[in-house]
Structure 1
Amino acid sequence: MTAFEALFAEYWPHVAFALSLIIGALAAIHAAMTKTDVRAAIGWVGVIMLSPFFGALLYIIAGINRTRKDQISQQRDASLRDYAEVDLPQLADVTPYAAPQFASLRTLGDRVSHFALHQDNHVQMLLGGDQTYPAMIRAIENACRSIALQTYIFDNDAEGQKIAQALARAKDRGVEIRVLIDAVGAKYSRPPITRLLRKLGIKTALFMTNPLGMRMPYANLRSHRKILVTDGKIGFTGGMNIREAFVKGSDGLPPARDTHFRFEGPIVQQLMTVFAHDWKFTTREALPYETWCAEEWSPPQPTVPARSIRSGPDRSLGSNHSMLLGALAVAQHHVRIQSPYFLPDATLLGAINTAARRGIRVDIVIPGKNNLRLVNYAMMAQIDQVIKSGCNVWVCKGSFNHSKLITIDGAWSYVGSSNLDPRSLRLNFELDVEIYSHDIALQISSVIDDEINNSEPLTLSKLSGLPFAKKLRNKVIWLASPYL
């Protein structure tokens, strides 16, 4: 044994202790200096200091936002900037389409979204996979020039293969096609659909991955967006992934439920902008405007004002959060919320409770059957806070409902991919749409009211009647809700 080895053997505990202090201190300083949420900063500093090596490693993997802000969503590339800069006048006044209190919300949207609010958009609500997937396939079959498809989950099942084969037929017609799937969502089925798509010659990429496999530091940052744009004229977005569980099967069992939306008009340009930016970030390929965008639209009547709200852990961080806070602040009569994962943070929870205390009727619809058991436990640990403030909480009967729908005062609606949970509000890349329209709000309200009519009210007495073991389990899971 050399002198160095002997020295190390004698003093290695001291060396390890010193390294742990240095590494822990550096990680804790980084968390304190970079986190904008004081609770997140306190939490990470506590984890790091209590377990310097493990805590610092966990922070490096899951706590640092490495997203390159100059390359996602807000790129300065002129070819991408042109996508959303259509030569159309911005809507000056939303009052004729909604109500006077929404003028300030429109101003908030101008500052949060970076997309203009345009009228002349046609919106069609689609219920479940039995309406959504055939409508998507029809749009693909009718495409002549380009198809852009982005989703979180694209399962390699009967419905996924139908869409893959429709894309293959479009490719054979000479249509340019790009498919972008989240790297985490792609792992939901085996074998992944990407093998089939690439075998069919369809250009496919995985968001937040590299040729060597999953980059663990990025595994917590997911693209939850759902976009389909054909010929730059027809667009789809909403909450639906591509999975056969959302269609009626031969077994006769009711399918899982969800809601999606079909758009025509200038908002399609905004959907295409979001896709093009995400595609370039992932592949470094810029999609030329003249191939992927339409010069004009002729949407069917009636048309409504609408705009996209993109959010994510980049320069759009908190956009969906800000829009929801603004909408709750201007509400005067009725707030309807349907969410499969209702876990708002303290700020949003406070805004919901304040609306109820102001005398606004607040209806919150959650599923009785949830596909994420841990999230459901955390929901039950927190849900009493809105009930105490006067909100009505309804637990749906029947199959799982994945819809994300919000309407305010029967005039403004917010639809898309965002859930009301920490992941959607802080970690995921999401895409939502705000719509100023009494008619669309009425349609969405009708869908939510149908769910309420098939629900049971959740009361404080029911929650207090749960066994202590379940209450404790729910609270323990709730403590980890920011990471679910």
Structure 2
Amino acid sequence: MPLDATYWTAEIDALLIMLEPYWPYVAAVISIGLAVTVTVHVAQNKRDARAVAAWTGLVWLVPVLGAVLYYMLGVNRIRRRARQLTGGLIDSNDGWRIAAEPEPDLEHLKVLSRLVGRLTHLPLTDGNHITLLDAPIAYQAMMDAIDSATESIYLATYIFGNDAAGKPLADALSAAVARGVKVRVLVDGAGALYSLPSIVWRLRRGKVPVERFLYSLAPWRMPYLNLRNHRKFMVVDRRYGFTGGMNIRAGYIQQPPKITDLHARIEGPVVGQLLRTFAADWYFTSGELLDTCYCGPAWLGAVQSRGISAGPDADFDKRRMTLLAAIGSAESRIRIVTPYFVPDLTLLATLQLALLKGVQVEIVIPRKNNLRLVHWASLHALRWLVSEGAELYLSPPPFDHSKVMTVDRHWVMLGSGNWDARSLRLNFEFDLECYGEALAGQIDEMLDERIALSQRFDQVGFEQLAPWRRVRNALAHMLEPYL
């Protein structure tokens, strides 16, 4: 005769009563086992000693929950998954011969070029032309490029707003699809949610192939909260492209603008490196393999350039090490413009060494930031640099979202990356390094204009901060690894 539910309920209750005295021991064994397991995994897989100490402390001080948080947020699954998907084919060097690679004109920058080449496994390309564009002009240039495209449009962005900027661009992409252009759009999974309803639905109604990078509304299926695709570039007809720090948002094009940014039109062989980066991201997200063959002329200008594709996968730490190398190579001047300046101790120390050897260091950040916590942490970090002789300038509104760096009036780095933990370790970024006196001179002139409008914030300014503000800034800086 089958046993009824009452029987099984009684049996389970009896078993629980029998085991009740032993539950503390069972819980202790589980907690210790999880803590030991996580500690061993952290020690073997984390290169940053601070991260090792932080996670180890968390899993021992917060039993079970600390291990769960580490599993959700601390384990980098992206590197393994990316390698499984691409098989290493997209990141291959395509027969690059080091003997054919050009060299910068300045002797001390030749070492920097070779170092970045070994980091990225990509050649420094010659014959490029870079046109610098402010955000409204860049937006219109991208619209014109979409309207004139005949073969393909590959667009990647972090934020694609469903607003006065995003809707016309989405409609232009839909029109391109209708006339037979191969269009692919990649929007970050978190960035797609900045506008509700998401622009993704408008793109799909327009028959535009669009994917969201690491997207899920279910928390248990979204273990990559910090690993965002922050890249912003577009390649048209595999001949020319655009890249920089500009998202697709109405704040850039409204009058007066709420946000300013620096974007660039890219022409020349380095466009092939933009293509390869987009193809790798698209394949990772959709499984579709795209043609990465550059179709433009071999020589369009005098700029030597290379793409720096950085992220928490196989490209881990490439951008950070490039910045360290560039700072170390500087002999006369370093200029940095960024909305978020919260570098780690190594970058801070390298900038201090540059100051000690007599290099002029100028840093421009917004006077009013859209992320107050980051701004407070920035001021705490900058306090030490200013005390060593760095020049800090606070730019007035509108909010300057540009990300650019120049070294010795000859080397330029521009793109999507900021000077914070997210851009340096947690996000997927794309920047261009460029060698050329004319291009660097153009950017330096733009920076001269911004500095002329900015407020110099010196050591006296820091000393005059109210004590509670100094404490606030110091407490905010304690969160540097997570900002």
Q: How much does 1:466 deviate? A: 2.3
Task: Please state if 1:14 is matched with 2:20.
Answer: no
Over 3 Å counting, the alpha-carbon distance change for 1:327 and 1:19 in structure 2 is same
Over 3 Å counting, the alpha-carbon distance change for 1:210 and 1:395 in structure 2 is closer
- How do 1:15-94 residues align onto structure 2 when only pairs under 5 Å count? 15-69=26-80, 71=82, 75-76=86-87, 78=89, 80=90, 90-94=100-104
- Superimposed CA distance per residue, residues 142-201 of structure 1 (whole angstroms, 9 cap, x where no aligned partner): 111111000111010011111101101111110011100110111111111001001111
Task: Note the residue ranges of structure 2 that are not aligned, 5 or more in a row.
Answer: 1-9
Given candidates 193, 218, 221, the residue that maps to 2:224 is 218
Contact 1:139 1:234 in 2 (8 A): no
Contact 2:270 2:306 in 1 (8 A): yes
Question: How far apart are the structure 2 equivalents of 1:271 and 1:133?
Answer: 18
Question: How far apart are the structure 2 equivalents of 1:429 and 1:288?
Answer: 21
Question: How far apart are the structure 2 equivalents of 1:39 and 1:82?
Answer: 33
Question: How far apart are the structure 1 equivalents of 2:296 and 2:462?
Answer: 54
Q: How much does 1:478 deviate? A: 1.3
Question: How far apart are the structure 1 equivalents of 2:446 and 2:85?
Answer: 35
Q: How much does 1:254 deviate? A: 3.8
Q: After the TM superposition, which segments of 4 or more aligned residues of structure 1 sit over 4 Å from their partners?
A: 81-89, 210-214
* Number of the residue aligned with 2:245: 239
SS at match of 2:34: helix
Q: How much does 1:477 deviate? A: 1.8
* Number of the residue aligned with 1:182: 188
* Number of the residue aligned with 1:297: 297
Question: How far apart are the structure 1 equivalents of 2:340 and 2:360?
Answer: 21
- How do 1:393-412 residues align onto structure 2 when only pairs under 5 Å count? 393-412=392-411
SS at match of 1:94: coil
- Superimposed CA distance per residue, residues 413-438 of structure 1 (whole angstroms, 9 cap, x where no aligned partner): 01111101111110111111010000
Residue type of the partner of 1:339?
Answer: T
SS at match of 1:147: strand
* Number of the residue aligned with 1:316: 315
Q: How much does 1:5 deviate? A: 1.0
Q: How much does 1:464 deviate? A: 2.7
Shifted more, 435-444 versus 377-386: the winner is: 377-386
Over 3 Å counting, the alpha-carbon distance change for 1:461 and 1:8 in structure 2 is farther
TM-score scaled by structure 2?
A: 0.93
Residue type of the partner of 2:133?
Answer: L
Question: How far apart are the structure 2 equivalents of 1:479 and 1:88?
Answer: 43
* Number of the residue aligned with 1:136: 142
Alpha-carbon RMSD across the aligned residues, in angstroms, is 2.1
Over 3 Å counting, the alpha-carbon distance change for 1:254 and 1:67 in structure 2 is closer
Over 3 Å counting, the alpha-carbon distance change for 1:39 and 1:122 in structure 2 is same
Residue type of the partner of 2:403?
Answer: K
Question: How far apart are the structure 2 equivalents of 1:136 and 1:83?
Answer: 29
SS at match of 2:86: coil
- Superimposed CA distance per residue, residues 435-466 of structure 1 (whole angstroms, 9 cap, x where no aligned partner): 00001101111111111111111122322322
Question: How far apart are the structure 1 equivalents of 2:144 and 2:95?
Answer: 28
Over 3 Å counting, the alpha-carbon distance change for 1:463 and 1:410 in structure 2 is same
* Number of the residue aligned with 2:175: 169
Question: How far apart are the structure 1 equivalents of 2:74 and 2:177?
Answer: 41
Contact 1:137 1:166 in 2 (8 A): yes
Question: How far apart are the structure 1 equivalents of 2:220 and 2:200?
Answer: 15
Question: How far apart are the structure 1 equivalents of 2:91 and 2:374?
Answer: 38
Task: Please state if 1:427 is matched with 2:426.
Answer: yes
Residue type of the partner of 1:234?
Answer: Y
Contact 1:313 1:426 in 2 (8 A): yes
Residue type of the partner of 1:179?
Answer: V
Question: How far apart are the structure 2 equivalents of 1:228 and 1:19?
Answer: 50
Q: How much does 1:77 deviate? A: 5.7
Structure number with larger C-alpha Rg:
2
- Superimposed CA distance per residue, residues 222-242 of structure 1 (whole angstroms, 9 cap, x where no aligned partner): 111111001100111111111
Contact 2:251 2:257 in 1 (8 A): no
Task: Please state if 1:100 is matched with 2:113.
Answer: no
Aligned residue-pair number: 472
Over 3 Å counting, the alpha-carbon distance change for 1:474 and 1:370 in structure 2 is same
Residue type of the partner of 2:23?
Answer: W
Question: How far apart are the structure 1 equivalents of 2:200 and 2:97?
Answer: 37
Contact 1:83 1:273 in 2 (8 A): no
Question: How far apart are the structure 1 equivalents of 2:257 and 2:173?
Answer: 28
Task: Please state if 1:284 is matched with 2:291.
Answer: no
Question: How far apart are the structure 2 equivalents of 1:175 and 1:414?
Answer: 32
Shifted more, 35-44 versus 54-63: the winner is: 54-63
Residue type of the partner of 1:119?
Answer: D
Given candidates 209, 218, 224, the residue that maps to 2:215 is 209
Contact 1:90 1:118 in 2 (8 A): no
Contact 2:243 2:265 in 1 (8 A): yes
- Superimposed CA distance per residue, residues 356-396 of structure 1 (whole angstroms, 9 cap, x where no aligned partner): 11111110111001111111111122211111111111111
- How do 1:343-382 residues align onto structure 2 when only pairs under 5 Å count? 343-382=342-381
Over 3 Å counting, the alpha-carbon distance change for 1:295 and 1:28 in structure 2 is same
Question: How far apart are the structure 1 equivalents of 2:400 and 2:373?
Answer: 16
Question: How far apart are the structure 2 equivalents of 1:447 and 1:72?
Answer: 40
Taking only the aligned residue pairs, the percentage that are identical comes to 38
SS at match of 1:109: helix
Question: How far apart are the structure 1 equivalents of 2:463 and 2:290?
Answer: 56
Question: How far apart are the structure 2 equivalents of 1:329 and 1:312?
Answer: 22
- Superimposed CA distance per residue, residues 40-88 of structure 1 (whole angstroms, 9 cap, x where no aligned partner): 111111111111222212211211111134625993465x457965899
Question: How far apart are the structure 1 equivalents of 2:409 and 2:77?
Answer: 40
* Number of the residue aligned with 1:456: 455
* Number of the residue aligned with 1:120: 127
Contact 1:90 1:117 in 2 (8 A): no
* Number of the residue aligned with 2:6: none
